Structure 1
């Protein structure tokens, strides 16, 4: 991956939204552009960055924007990932009172109309 890749403003916007987990359709809707345009921009970003998958693009984006070293050992990566995961889970648990959602069933009534024949 090229850690010194320069992206345009639009490429940065799209790469950021993709890195945070938005789908191509969601990015197109949010930026009010066509889906094909988003796909073309992502392909240009892939070439500039030197990756071929969305998860690689996400890793590149987070490493460059949060000054995370590209040369971390796998052990250090797993420690950082578990720390970030625990922070995320804790914030989700604290921010929601309805962590467990219950589902209720509703009953459906079917009405059938019968037509009587007169003989």
Structure 2
């Protein structure tokens, strides 16, 4: 589906967000933040087979979030944080909107509180 007026300036970002959409892949990234690990170690806490974990690792690799080395019989996986930084940067573009929305909500809540206090004093 083509979106008119939309230019995808960072197609890699789509792959990052798609990879992050799965809770298992997010858990794998959290594990790899502690250091590199082989598939069997990554698979240990999950109720799934090593081949299933390998499929998740491949998605993370395609998104550029993980890289794997060949170390004799092992293929340890390692976190690559640069694509995550790009995702965070993209999300930060919306922080002004969020701050503004929260400021408006704070103002509304303060106004409601003042109105309620005034109604209590009058009654």
TM-score, with structure 1 as normaliser: 0.40
Q: Please state which structure has a larger fraction of its residues in strand.
A: 2
- The alignment's TM-score, normalised by the length of structure 2, stands at 0.39
Higher Cα Rg, which structure? 1
- Structure with more helix by fraction: 2
